[in-house]
Amino acid sequence: MSRITRLQTLDVRFPTSRHLDGSDAMNPDPDYSAAYVVVHTDDDDGLTGTGFVFTIGRGNEIEVTALRALETFIVDRDLDEVLGDMGATWRSLVHDSQLRWLGPE
């Protein structure tokens, strides 16, 4: 059984506003961005998982910070337990007595 050992979060941004790539009437200067997370395990084969949230620039750092805030609910958990009951995993992520005021429920 593998355990989740750490999360690595990255703030990835592409300067698309320089040439107005992807711009439109509502988004005149988007910088396509992503809060990217790598889930590391202690698996002998180096098993990792990835996830991301897309934004269009400003506020991307908020997504990165949110991922970091959830780290304590994931790290040191058994991977089979996490994947075996995704409902329980979801509830552990969204029902913290303080963080739940931020969303998503």
Q: Model's pTM, two decimal places? A: 0.85
Long-range own/partner contacts, residues 80-84 (CB < 8 A, 24 or more apart): 80/1, 80/2, 82/4
Architecture category of domain 4-102 in CATH: 2-Layer Sandwich (3.30)
Q: What is the mean pLDDT of residues 35-64?
A: 96
pLDDT of residue 35: 97
